[in-house]
Amino acid sequence: MIIESRRPWVEQLFVAVIILIIFVFMAFALFDSGEATYAKARLLFAMIVLLITYREIGTFKVTKPRVKLSASLKLWLVIIGIILIMMALQERLPLRILLNLNSTNLAENTMFALAAGIFEESLTRGLFFSIFLQNMQYRSRSLKFTRSAIYSALIFGSLHLMNLRSGNSAAIFQQIFYAFALGIMLAVIRVTTNTLFWGIGLHFLMDWQPGIASPLSATTSWLPILLIFGSMLVVGIVYLVKFDREYEKQNQLAKS
C-alpha cells in the first residue's frame, strides 16, 4: 500500500543533502540583500524544491489507497484538533493574521510564509519522509510511519539552528523544540490526508505574521510551551503508532 518512489532512497538522500547545502548557502548569501529580494528568492527556491520533490517521489501521496481511519484514530484526531486550537489561541494566531493584513509589509510577509511552508514541507514531510519510509520498507522495520515522522521532524527542528546567527539563542532553542513537536503534527496531517498540501497550508498560516523575517529576540515561559507542544508531541506520536498498526492490519487484509 505504501507507494514506491520513483528513485531509490539513497539517490533521494543525495538530492536532499544538495538541496540543504544550497539552502544554507543562499540564506547566508542573501541575508543582507533586503526583505523583498530575499523573500522572492526564497519563494522561487521553495517552488523549485516542490517540483524536485514531486520529480523524485513521483507523487504527493504516501499510500494507495488512502488508509481508512478507525473509530479510535478519529477520536485521537479530535484530540489533535483541540490541541491545535489551543496552540492557535496561545500563539494569538487570529490576531497575528489580522495585524498582518494591515501590515505595510504584507507582500513580503506573505512570500516569506509561503516560502517557509512550501520549502520546509516539501523537504521534510515530502522528500526526507519518503527517504525514511523507503528505508523502513527496505529493512522491514515496524512502525514505519512513526519512525519516519520522528526522523523528519528532527531534521525540521534542526533547520531552525540557522537562526542562531541572528537571534536570541535561548529563544531559538525554544523554537527548535516546538518546531520538532509541530513536525510530528504536520506528519500526522501528511499521512492522514495523504497529501502535502494541507500541511503546506497550515504551515503557511502559522508563519503568516508581521515580522516573520525578523530574528527572535525574546524568550517566553517554558511552561505554556511544554504544556501545549509537549502535549502535541505525545498525542501526535500516539496517533502515529495507532496509524501504523491500522495500516499493517489493512495491508494484511488486502494481501489475503
Mean pLDDT for 63-83 is 94
Structure confidence at residue 218 (pLDDT): 64
- Banded model confidence at residue 217, pLDDT cuts 50, 70, 90: low
Confidence at residue 60, expressed as pLDDT on a 0 to 100 scale:
94
* Angstrom distance (rounded) from CA 97 to CA 100: 5
Burial of 197 (0-12, 13-18, 19+ CB in 10 A): middle
| Beta bridge mates, 2 | 63
Residue 91 predicted with pLDDT over 70: yes
pLDDT of residue 216: 61
Three-state DSSP string of 163-222: HHHCCCHHHHHHHHHHHHHHHHHHHHHHHHHCCCHHHHHHHHHHHCCCCCCCCCCCCCCH
Q: In the predicted model, what is the mean pLDDT of the chain?
A: 90
Residue type, 209: Q
Average pLDDT over residues 216-234: 84
Residues 181, 184: Cα–Cα separation, whole Å: 5
What average pLDDT score do residues 5-11 get?
A: 90
